[in-house]
Amino acid sequence: AADVSPMAKLSLMQNKDGQLALDIDPNAVCVVDNFLGKDLISAMRQEADSLLPTMVPSQSTRFDEETQTVVPYEKVGVLSTQIEGGATGYELSPRLVEYIVTLTSGLSQKLNQILPETHHLSGSEQTNKLAVCLGDGSMYDKHIDNLGGGERGAGDQRKLTALLYLQPPGSHDGQPEFPNESAEDDPRGGYFRAYDVPEVDQVTSIAPRGDRLIMFWSDSLVHDVSPSFCPAGDTDRRWALTVWFVVGEDGVIRSTDAEIEKKHFGTG
């Protein structure tokens, strides 16, 4: 069984006196290595590879400085698909489906024991995306998964992001360990970069190690993915399975702070 104790960091903040208190740190990042084990992560990667012919160019949004609006765009060199349940989806990728269902139920139950009610996560509803960076500098622009705002229970209700890397086990053996990882030290790139973590104006780089789970708040963490390359061919492709946990009608989605918008996106 995976050691998920680091997820408690998602609900701990350090007060001015240095003491830890139960609260929500908007920039908390939880990293869990060896989450599922070598056999299961290898089998899931095989299923992901089998879905590649059905995947399409990945769509996302970014802030356009010229129009001062959020606009859709197509990521270059990134393909994605949604893992569907039901008989057809299960036949195509049973382990991916089971992982999503089990994670949604199990992690929400654990986290809801320590989170305030406004942050309680659904144990049955989620949205997900399987994505692969094909190399040649494919990347993700700086963004927040859910820009937030709106009335309770309306609009985008994604609250927590859980990202699992499907690289082969041992994919980054010999590289510096978290939290001392750096994209500059790895010709493959594809590093998750969290801004203002662990302190304001700092950036934490996280390698896409196989069987690594990253969790963070969807409505607050500014992040991107550094350009990725495949010097050893297709085995270096960056695979990630993302599950977004959602809140219910009483849940709160943060509105993006104007200072954060100005600092990272030139707006606000």
- pLDDT at residue 3 is higher than 50: no
Between 258 and 137, the more confident residue is 137
Using one digit for the tens of pLDDT, what is the confidence trace for 47-65?
999 999 999 988 776 666 6
Average pLDDT, whole number, for the chain?
86
pLDDT-based confidence at residue 175 (cuts at 50, 70, 90): confident
The pair of three-digit structure tokens given for residue 223, joined into one six-digit string: 């992040």
pLDDT-based confidence at residue 15 (cuts at 50, 70, 90): low
* pLDDT at residue 70 in the model: 67
* pLDDT at residue 184 in the model: 85
Using one digit for the tens of pLDDT, what is the confidence trace for 94-137?
999 999 999 999 999 988 888 888 889 999 999 999 999 999 99
Q: How many C-beta atoms lie closer than 10 Å to residue 228's C-beta? A: 26
Between 80 and 198, the more confident residue is 80
* pLDDT at residue 1 in the model: 40
The pair of three-digit structure tokens given for residue 44, joined into one six-digit string: 């899931």
For the chain, percent of residues with pLDDT exceeding 70? 85
* pLDDT at residue 17 in the model: 58
**Closest residue by Cα to residue 196 from 165, 176, 177, 224:** 224
Give the DSSP letter string of 80-120.
Answer: EEPPP-HHHHHHH-HHHHHHHHHHHHHHHHHHHTTS-GGGP
- Can you tell me the distance from the alpha carbon of 29 to that of 65, in angstroms, rounded to the nearest whole number? 28
pLDDT-based confidence at residue 207 (cuts at 50, 70, 90): very high
- pLDDT at residue 83 is higher than 90: yes
Between 64 and 145, the more confident residue is 145
Average pLDDT of span 160-166: 96
pLDDT-based confidence at residue 20 (cuts at 50, 70, 90): very low
State the residue for tokens 């060199």.
77
- pLDDT at residue 150 is higher than 60: no
Give, in order, the Cα–Cα distances in Å from 97 to each of 33, 47, 94, 240: 21, 10, 5, 14
Amino acid type, 162:
A
* pLDDT at residue 58 in the model: 86
- pLDDT at residue 4 is higher than 50: no
Phi, psi of 265 (to 5 degrees): -125, 0
Average pLDDT of span 182-208: 92
* pLDDT at residue 252 in the model: 86
* b/e per residue 45-84 (b: at least 16 CB within 10 A): bebbeebeeeeeebebeebeeeeeeeeeeebebbbbbebe
For the chain, percent of residues with pLDDT exceeding 90? 56
- pLDDT at residue 193 is higher than 60: yes
Q: Identify the weakest region by mean pLDDT among 178-192, 211-225, 247-261.
A: 247-261
